[in-house]
Every structure is written in structure tokens, then in C-alpha cells.
Amino acid sequence: MRETNFIIENNARHMWHPMAHPAEMQAQPPRIITAGEGVEIVDIQGKKVLDAVGGLWNVNLGYSCEPVKKAIRDQLDELPYYSTFRGTTNSPLIELSYELAEWFQPDGLSRSFFTSGGSDSVETCLRLARQYHKINGQPERTKFVALKKGYHGTHFGGASVNGNQNFRRSYEPLLPGVIHLPAPFSYRNPFGTSDGAEIAAAIGRLFEDEIAFQGADTIAALIVEPVLGAGGVIVPHETFLPLMREICDRHGILLIADEVITAFGRTGAWTGSRLWGVKPDLMSTAKAITNGYFPFGAVMIADKVAEVFEGSKGAFGSIGHGYTYSGHPAGAAAALATLKETKRLNVADDAAARGEELIAGLRKLQDKHELIGDVRGKGLMCALELVSDRKRKSAASKDILQKVQDVAYDAGALVRTSGANVIMSPPLVITAGDVQTILTALDAGLTAAGA
Ligand code: PMP
């Protein structure tokens, strides 16, 4: 390894960063994280802070999860790679597919298809949805319905169903035949109400209206996050997803739950779908499946969909889709060890308990700081939406958000900003004391930004 000065001097010089302007990164290079221990990270200056971002919603068990590290090391010694394209496979992956069928049994999902991350998983869901209808003799079912403010990764399929123009405009034209419904968002919506049940019902009516307009026989699937993450942690009313499920069923439309963030306990339930009592037809997972230690993902497939594929005899049955790293053995070993630890530590209950403490604390901060327009969260995915004027709900400036983040960091916690939102998704193993650390750091950030 080169010296520290060399690393600092070359930061952001020869690389572009995701979701950032290259010149801005060069002008204000990102923090260099050099170590992680427990729920804390250490930067190159030696400063240690609590990671209230949990990597990127993925390091659910923190940075010192020895069983996962060991599983990856051991697997690299045993078999560092082998492909799963027709003809070969590897042992940890077979074991993992067994464990996942058990894990997702309450969601009615019994088959898996492996990927290298969340965007790959979303892409796989979209493709399998179209193929399902082709096998079923309904080849015109090609369109997708999605939510504004939804986030589904960066491949062209995912970008096409994304509901945030920042991730779309520069890359248009995207896939044709994608319809966006409003998000189930109480704080901002076109319905003139903040009543979650009313909003859910209104979106249901728009969905029905759109189905009538497009023709149900042209729509392949609806894709939704059970709790919208990157769009600002939007928690739908409890009636929303069951209503969407019911409408999909009535019109032969598949329901894809994008659970890249929510699948392994983050919301306080083991899956976001279970949180709302809904069984999806396809589910995308990634991130916490390996505790963030290895790029990996899995698409989970419902029996109903699996039966159609497995029983197909025509031209469309074979899966003409997959990745070199579909089912990487080290990723599979990491996932096996992660699932075991996730279950042993029962982290969904921790996420629910710590989440309640964090949200209660954030509401207290809202009483104190005019800057906070809205507080949202479920389990350990939470957001503050910052405004310059509470009545008008005008978004706070970028400088204000940067100030909150910087001062909070100096005060001991890394939070993330996205648009006007301050987002928190700490490891699920944080203690009640860690929750206080996050709140104290945020308080300092908000005080400085509001001054
Ligand atoms: N779907 C959702 C709901 C996500 O939150 C993300 C990433 N934050 C993705 C898909 C894309 O995952 P990845 O960045 O691993 O490709």
C-alpha cells in the first residue's frame, strides 16, 4: 500500500464517484474510510464515528462480524470461483438456495435466482415478469407500473421504473411502456390530504384507471418498495400494499417487491412484504444478504411463477439471462454465514425496538428545530426532511444539508443526505446508547445549520 499522503492526494482524481458530480468530488474529495469496528468507522485522519448509514443500508450486523469474514476467507481457499451457467454449480450456493427457501417460506417464495447486487436483482425481476407472461400465452403483457419516488437501481430496466428524475433525465429515452403512479406519501402528494388511508385509496383508483386505459392485458407487473428507501424513507399506510396486491390479482398483473433494503430485518419485520401482510410474486434482494461484505443478490420467486416456468414446454421456458457472478461461491458462503448470524441475533426485533427509540428522539428534535419539516421511519430506516419554511414546505438548501452532515460527523455520527432528506440506516445491532449518539450528533448539526 502507498503512503497516506499519496492516497489523500489522489482522492477522486482518477475516478468518478456514483451519484456525484466529478468536478464537485475533485473540489471537495470524499471522506476516506480506512477501518470499521463494531458499528463504528474510522477515517484516514483517525477519527472514529458511529456509522448511522450502515454502509449503504447494508451492513446490518456491523463491521466485526467474524463468522461472515471467516466464511469468505475459507471459501476463497477452497474454491474462489465457479460459474453456475448450465452444466456447473457450487456447493455453498446449493445450501444457500435451501436456506433461502426456508427463510422466505412465510412469503410464499421457494425458488431463487442469484445476482451480483440490487440493480441486477431488479433487472432479473423485470425480465422474469415479462417471460412469465410470454410462457403463459400473454406476450403483450410487457408494461411496468411503478411509483414516483421509487428507487430500483441503475440498469436501464431499473432506471426506467425509477421515480426520481435525477436518475432518469440524463439517460433518456428509457424503456417504453412504464407508467408511474404517485407515491403513498403523506407529507407531499397531489391529493390535498395527509391521511394515509385516503392516499392509498386514491392511488388504488389511479391504478385501476390506468389499467382500464392501458388494457390489463398489456401490463406485466407492478414494482414497489414496501418502504420507499432512497426516495426519502416513505412509509406507506398499512392498507397500501394489500390494496395493490388485490388490484394486481384481479387483473393478472405480477407484484414485484423490491426488497433490496428491506429483506433481512431492517424495517423490524423479516421482510417488508411481511410487514404489510402481502405475498409478492417476485422479490429482489441484495445488500444485507451478505452484510455488505460481498457483492451479491438473490431474486426470490413465488410458487405460482415457478410452476409456470418449470412446467413450460414451449419456446419461452429457458432463462436467457444471468451474470458471470450469478451465485459466486464466496458470496454464497458469505450469505450463508450472514443468514445464520442474522437469525441468531434476531436483529429484526432489535431494528423494531431501536427504530422506535430513534424515531421518538427525532420527533423531539422536530419540536426543537424549525428546520425539520417531517420525520419518517420504520424500524431502522429513518429520515428527516429539512425545510426552510414549515408552512410552505420549501426544501432546505444543499448548504444547510451539508452543514448538518458535517457538524453531525464532527459530533460523532455519519448520516447521509439525499435531496432535502437526512437519511439514517444504522446497523441493526446498535445499542440504545448508540441511538442517543446519533440524536446528539444530529442535534449539534441542526443547531449549527439553523443558527
Ligand atoms: N433497489 C432498491 C430498493 C435499492 O435501494 C437499491 C440500492 N440502494 C437498488 C435497488 C440497487 O441496488 P445496487 O446499488 O446494489 O445495484
From 301, 326, 344, the end of a domain falls on 344
Q: Is the CB of 275 under 6 A from ligand 1?
A: no
The answer to whether residues 374 and 292 belong to one domain is no
- Helices 398-410, 432-450: crossing angle, 10 deg rounding: 130
CA distance to 70, 127, 335, per residue, from 424 (Å): 28, 32, 24
From 344, 372, 392, the end of a domain falls on 344
**Cell output for 276:** 404489510
β-bridge partners, 300: 112, 283
Ligand 1 atom, smallest distance to 259 CA:
3
Q: Is the CB of 258 under 6 A from ligand 1?
A: yes
* Model confidence pLDDT, tens digit, residues 430-442: 999 999 999 999 9
* 177 in a structural domain: yes
Single-letter amino acid code for the residue at 380? L
Report the pLDDT value the prediction gives residue 315, as an integer from 0 to 100: 83
The answer to whether residues 229 and 283 belong to one domain is yes
Summarize the confidence of residues 400-407 as an average pLDDT.
98
Q: Is the CB of 51 under 6 A from ligand 1?
A: no
pLDDT above 70 covers a percentage of the chain that reads 100
Pocket probe mutation, ligand 1, options 56, 261, 284, 293, max atoms within 8 Å of Cβ: 261
**Cell output for 29:** 474529495
Q: Is the CB of 379 under 6 A from ligand 1?
A: no
* 9 in a structural domain: no
* Model confidence pLDDT, tens digit, residues 169-179: 999 999 999 99
Report the pLDDT value the prediction gives residue 427, as an integer from 0 to 100: 98
C-alpha 49/C-alpha 438 separation (Å) is 10
Report the pLDDT value the prediction gives residue 237, as an integer from 0 to 100: 98
β-bridge partners, 302: 109
* Model confidence pLDDT, tens digit, residues 61-114: 999 999 999 999 999 999 999 999 999 999 999 999 999 999 999 999 999 999
The answer to whether residues 118 and 202 belong to one domain is yes
The answer to whether residues 267 and 392 belong to one domain is no
* 185 in a structural domain: yes
The answer to whether residues 404 and 316 belong to one domain is no
The answer to whether residues 256 and 387 belong to one domain is no
Beta carbons of 128 and 98 less than 8 angstroms apart = no
Beta carbons of 149 and 164 less than 8 angstroms apart = yes
pTM of the full predicted structure? 0.98
pLDDT band with cut points at 50, 70 and 90 for residue 383:
very high
Report the pLDDT value the prediction gives residue 247, as an integer from 0 to 100: 98
* 6 in a structural domain: no
Give the count of domains, the chain.
2
Q: Is the CB of 294 under 6 A from ligand 1?
A: no
* Number of residues that this document lists for the chain: 451
Q: What is the CATH number of the domain that holds 86?
A: 3.40.640.10
Report the pLDDT value the prediction gives residue 222, as an integer from 0 to 100: 99
Q: Is the CB of 323 under 6 A from ligand 1?
A: no
C-alpha 39/C-alpha 424 separation (Å) is 13
* 2 in a structural domain: no
* Model confidence pLDDT, tens digit, residues 123-165: 999 999 999 999 999 999 999 999 999 999 999 999 999 999 9
The answer to whether residues 207 and 305 belong to one domain is yes
Please give the span between the terminal C-alpha atoms of the chain, in angstroms, as a whole number.
43
* 273 in a structural domain: yes
Report the pLDDT value the prediction gives residue 451, as an integer from 0 to 100: 79
* Model confidence pLDDT, tens digit, residues 319-376: 999 999 999 999 999 999 999 999 999 999 999 999 999 999 999 999 999 999 999 9
Pocket probe mutation, ligand 1, options 287, 289, 416, max atoms within 8 Å of Cβ: 287
* Model confidence pLDDT, tens digit, residues 99-125: 999 999 999 999 999 999 999 999 999
The answer to whether residues 214 and 295 belong to one domain is yes
pLDDT beyond 90 at 205? yes
Beta carbons of 9 and 49 less than 8 angstroms apart = no
Instruction: Please state the three-class secondary structure of the chain as a single string.
Output: CCCHHHHHHCCCCCCCCCCCCHHHHHHCCCCCEEEEECCEEEECCCCEEEECCHHHHCCCCCCCCHHHHHHHHHHHHHCCCCCCCCCCCCHHHHHHHHHHHHHCHHHCEEEEEEECCHHHHHHHHHHHHHHHHHHCCCCCCCEEEEECCCCCCCCHHHHHHCCCHHHCHHHCCCCCCEEEECCCCCCCCCCCCCCHHHHHHHHHHHHHHHHHHHCHHHEEEEEECCCECCCCCECCCCCHHHHHHHHHHHCCCEEEEECCCCCCCCCCCCCHHHHCCCCCCEEEECHHHHCCCCCCEEEEEEHHHHHHHHCCCCCCCCCCCCCCCCCCHHHHHHHHHHHHHHHHCCHHHHHHHHHHHHHHHHHHHHHHCCCEEEEEEECCEEEEEEEEECCCCEECCHHHHHHHHHHHHHCCEECEEECCEEEECCCCCCCHHHHHHHHHHHHHHHHHHHC
pLDDT beyond 90 at 308? yes
From 344, 378, 396, the end of a domain falls on 344
Distance 153 CA to ligand 1 centre (A): 5
Query: How would you classify the pairing of strands 143-147 and 178-181?
Result: parallel
The answer to whether residues 399 and 260 belong to one domain is no
**Which positions ≥6 away from 409 have C-beta within 8 Å?**
31, 49, 415, 441
Q: What is the CATH number of the domain that holds 430?
A: 3.90.1150.10
The answer to whether residues 334 and 354 belong to one domain is no
Angle at 221 between CA 216 and CA 227, to 5 degrees: 130
The answer to whether residues 299 and 363 belong to one domain is no
Distance 261 CA to ligand 1 centre (A): 7
Beta carbons of 121 and 285 less than 8 angstroms apart = yes
* 16 in a structural domain: no
Whether omega before 92 lies within 30 degrees of 0, making that bond cis, reads: no
Summarize the confidence of residues 389-408 as an average pLDDT.
97
C-alpha 227/C-alpha 383 separation (Å) is 12
- Whether ipTM tops 0.95, in short, is yes
**Cell output for 393:** 414546505
**Cell output for 223:** 414494482
* 237 in a structural domain: yes
Report the pLDDT value the prediction gives residue 302, as an integer from 0 to 100: 98
Mean pLDDT rounded to a whole number for the chain: 97
Report the pLDDT value the prediction gives residue 314, as an integer from 0 to 100: 83
The answer to whether residues 37 and 163 belong to one domain is no
Summarize the confidence of residues 293-308 as an average pLDDT.
98
C-alpha 63/C-alpha 69 separation (Å) is 10
* Domain span holding position 194: 68-344
pLDDT beyond 90 at 281? yes
**Cell output for 287:** 445488500
